[in-house]
């Protein structure tokens, strides 16, 4: 069975599923600025759109486009700026 997560008044939604190698989500983000915290290492791959991300310990934001992956360490916070609808896949390890 799938589970749906919703954040930031419905501007971010994700569908949780069990990938063969680990838990995963497939999600979408509407335009806005967001901050998330992690409890596991997260491997985020952009599927559609552009995600502008500031990773933990970084001072600058960086653009990630389709097929780009960024890794967020466990127990960390990261910021995102989304200019237009974007989609992603996240693997939790």
Domains, the chain, ordered by start: 3-92 (2.60.120.10)
Query: Between vectors from CA 73 to CA 7 and to CA 31, what angle results, nearest 5°?
Result: 30
Stated length of the chain: 93
Predicted pLDDT of residue 19: 78
Predicted pLDDT of residue 1: 67
Per DSSP bridges, beta strands 42-48 and 86-92 are: antiparallel
Predicted pLDDT of residue 18: 84
Predicted pLDDT of residue 57: 93
Tokens representing 46 are: 């952009």
pLDDT one-digit tens code per residue, 1-52: 689 999 999 999 999 998 778 889 999 999 999 999 999 999 999 999 999 9
Predicted pLDDT of residue 33: 98
């Amino acid at each position: 069975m799938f589970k749906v997560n919703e954040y930031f008044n419905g501007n971010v939604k994700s569908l949780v599923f069990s990938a063969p190698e680990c838990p995963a989500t497939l999600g979408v983000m509407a335009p806005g600025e967001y901050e998330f915290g992690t409890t596991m290492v997260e491997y985020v791959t952009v599927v559609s759109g552009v995600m502008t991300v500031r990773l933990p310990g970084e001072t600058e934001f960086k653009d990630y486009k389709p097929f780009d992956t960024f890794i967020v360490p466990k127990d960390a916070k990261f910021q995102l700026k989304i200019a237009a609808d974007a989609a992603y896949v996240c693997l939790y390890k």
